[in-house]
């Protein structure tokens, strides 16, 4: 699981939504955390699970930086993640630690708050929730934002997953490989004219255009989200005069990006929480002395279901 997420975070994303957001989480996904952070007291200890590149620790820091509240936030992730350079004048210390499995936490010191946003549900909850319960102080809270099985996020990503795993997408990439061979080396306008008059190249271009048309007709939004159009555009524009081997290397890169995206989306869909999973979570935590406080659903400004918001507290 961790390798394709490691490569994802290495690209500099702050949220798990990739290019959908250029900054940190915003709107309701930001606002629900502020009252929770506001209750932290001096010398607090927070653990953020599946932190990625530290979206929640950075949100906490930006909110509390102007207060006199000091403390530490440790963000852990099973993937390799980027480190945050410490700021000497900040009262909030952030430590991001990669390659840590939340199912077996390597910490002994108790914490006031454990957070996770679209993260802990990817783990084996029967072990990760026990590990979290053991590290919480008495009165400490576990606050989670988790994927809802019926959310717009899940529905949207199911469509993207279906599109990139389709026979049409596979055929499209195969035809791009074949076209790279058929075009041969392209260096001049003479080569361009040769390609235009080549029946094999023309047939492949028509097949590629047909595949794009089919993908567009099946789900335009999913096609745009998949980056497939950007890959094809790069092949025909920036890549037109590349050597054949470079074209093929680029297409191998495209194949890997689509494969990794499929892995991430399969994990996302599989991690989504339904009512049965929630009941199981409550039982696991109850057995460890952590009580259920609330479960609410978060919705976007246009009333679309986004996620679950869970709060638990250790007795």
What does the pLDDT profile of the chain (315 residues) look like in tens digits?
545 545 554 544 444 544 443 444 668 888 999 999 999 999 999 999 999 878 999 999 988 988 889 999 999 999 887 666 656 567 899 999 999 999 999 988 899 999 999 999 999 999 999 999 999 999 999 999 999 999 999 999 999 999 999 999 999 999 999 999 999 999 999 999 999 999 999 999 999 999 999 999 999 999 999 999 999 999 999 999 999 999 999 999 999 999 999 999 999 999 999 999 999 999 999 999 999 999 999 998 899 999 999 999 999
Query: CA 103 to CA 132: how far, in whole Å?
Result: 8
Q: Rounded to an integer, what is the distance from CA 175 to the centroid of its chain?
A: 30
Which domains are assigned to the chain? 2-151+272-314 (3.40.50.150), 153-268 (no CATH)
Residue with tokens 């997408």: 169
The candidate with the shortest Cα–Cα distance to 230, out of 186, 261, 271, is 261
Strand partners, 283: none
The pair of three-digit structure tokens given for residue 308, joined into one six-digit string: 């679950």
Q: Is 73:57 a contact under the CB 8 Å cutoff?
A: yes
Assess contact for 182 and 204: CB atoms under 8 A.
Answer: yes
- pTM of the prediction? 0.84
Contact 169, 234 (CB under 8 A): no
Q: What pLDDT, on the 0 to 100 scale, is given for residue 26?
A: 67
Measured in residues, the chain has a length of 315
Per-residue confidence (pLDDT) for residue 65, from 0 to 100: 84
DSSP the chain: -HHHHHHHHHTT-SSTTGGG-SSS--THHHHTTHHHHHT--TTEEEEEES-TTTHHHHHHHHHHTTSS--EEEEEE-SS--------TT-SEEEEEE-S--TTS----S-EEEEEEES-GGGS-HHHHHHHHHHHEEEEEEEEEEEEBTTSHHHHHHHHHHHHHTSHHHHHHHHHHHHHHHHH----SHHHHHHHHT-HHHHHHHHHHHHHHHHHHHH-HHHHHHHTHHHHHHHHHTTTTTS-HHHHHHHHHHHHHHHHHHHHHHHHHHHH-B-HHHHHHHHHHHHHTTEEEEEEEEEE-TT--EEEEEEEEEE-
Q: Tell me the Ramachandran region of residue 105: left when phi exceeds 0, alpha when psi lies from -120 to 50, beta otherwise.
A: beta
State residue 108's pLDDT score. Answer: 85
Torsion sign across C-alpha atoms 114, 24, 147, 163: negative
Q: So what's the pLDDT on residue 25?
A: 65
Q: How far is 225 from 228, CA to CA, in rounded Å?
A: 8
């Amino acid at each position: 699981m961790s390798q394709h997420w490691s490569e994802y975070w290495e690209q500099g994303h702050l949220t798990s939504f990739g290019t959908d957001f250029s900054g940190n989480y915003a709107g309701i996904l930001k606002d629900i955390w502020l009252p929770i952070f506001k209750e932290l007291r001096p010398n607090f200890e927070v653990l953020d699970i599946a932190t990625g590149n530290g979206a929640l620790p950075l949100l906490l820091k930006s909110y509390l930086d102007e207060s006199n509240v000091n403390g530490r936030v440790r963000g852990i992730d099973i993937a390799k993640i980027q480190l945050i350079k410490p700021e000497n004048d900040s009262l909030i210390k952030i430590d991001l630690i990669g390659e840590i499995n939340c199912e077996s936490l390597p910490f002994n010191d108790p914490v006031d708050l454990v957070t996770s946003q679209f993260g802990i549900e990817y783990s084996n909850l029967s072990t990760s929730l026990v590990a979290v319960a053991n590290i919480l102080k008495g009165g400490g809270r576990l606050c989670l934002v988790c994927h809802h099985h019926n959310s717009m996020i899940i529905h949207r990503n199911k469509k993207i997953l279906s599109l990139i795993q389709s026979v049409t997408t596979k055929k499209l990439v195969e035809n791009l490989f074949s076209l790279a061979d058929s075009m041969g080396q392209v260096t001049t306008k003479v080569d361009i004219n040769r390609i235009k008059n080549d029946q094999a190249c023309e047939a492949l271009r028509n097949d590629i255009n047909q595949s794009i048309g089919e993908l567009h007709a099946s789900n335009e939004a999913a096609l745009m989200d998949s980056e497939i159009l950007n890959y094809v555009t790069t092949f025909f524009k920036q890549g037109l005069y590349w050597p054949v081997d470079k074209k093929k290397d680029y297409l191998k890169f495209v194949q890997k990006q689509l494969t990794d995206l499929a892995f991430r989306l399969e994990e996302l869909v599989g991690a989504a929480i339904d009512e049965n999973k929630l009941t199981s979570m409550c039982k696991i935590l109850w057995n460890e002395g952590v009580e259920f406080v609330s479960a609410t659903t978060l919705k976007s400004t246009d009333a679309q279901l986004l996620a679950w918001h869970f709060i638990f507290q250790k007795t």
